[in-house]
Amino acid sequence: MSRQEAKRAIASNAAELIEENSCILLDAGTTTLELALLLRNLHLTVITTDLQIALVLSKFPTVTVYTTGGCVDRLTSSHVGDAAISFLSTVQADKAFIGTNVWDCGHGVATTSSVKQHLKRRMMASAGQSILLADSSKYGLCSTWRVAALADFSCIVTDTELSREHQEEVRAAGGHLRLANGLNGGFEI
């Protein structure tokens, strides 16, 4: 399975977790963008830091979309900083879908900057449930700024390329896995 196929499978699996008429938070990233593309027919309120996601969702008449505001990170075309965090502290969503570029059992989820660390933590605090979207190619990588332990997420949606050994490590660390196989969303473990 290619990385793009894995992201699409993860997004399809995660879409099964979204209820009609709910409010969700979408983190910036390519996997969350794939998830946004699947929301066309749902009545939702979506709050996102990602400008590209906001533009995609603005074309869907059944989706009400808000951006957090704040400084735009040129690398990710997403809002970061105090204004974004402040906005997120004023909302309460049903679910937050959090992306990552590194994850493992020892360090949990981490990111490349303290600014993104604080933003992801605030997103998690502003939602009833936090769901990690993480493709298996990012497992075992390290980064400086720890966001959360794997057990802090209601579930972790990843692809079936995650080895059985790593699946067991995640479970032992308190992570609840949903494996996406690319066929109609995948299956749950």
Output the pLDDT for position 186: 52
Query: 153-185, pLDDT tens digit by residue?
Result: 999 999 999 999 999 999 999 999 999 986 554
What's the CATH number where 78 sits? 3.40.50.1360
The number of domains in the chain is 1
| pLDDT band (50, 70, 90) for residue 103 | very high
| pLDDT band (50, 70, 90) for residue 139 | very high
Across the chain, what does the average pLDDT equal?
94
List the domain range (segments joined by +) for residue 86.
Answer: 3-188
| pLDDT band (50, 70, 90) for residue 102 | very high
Select from 186, 188, 137 the least CA-distant residue to 10. 186
Q: Is 67:107 a contact under the CB 8 Å cutoff?
A: no
User: What does pTM read for this prediction?
Assistant: 0.94
**Chain centre distance of CA 65:** 16
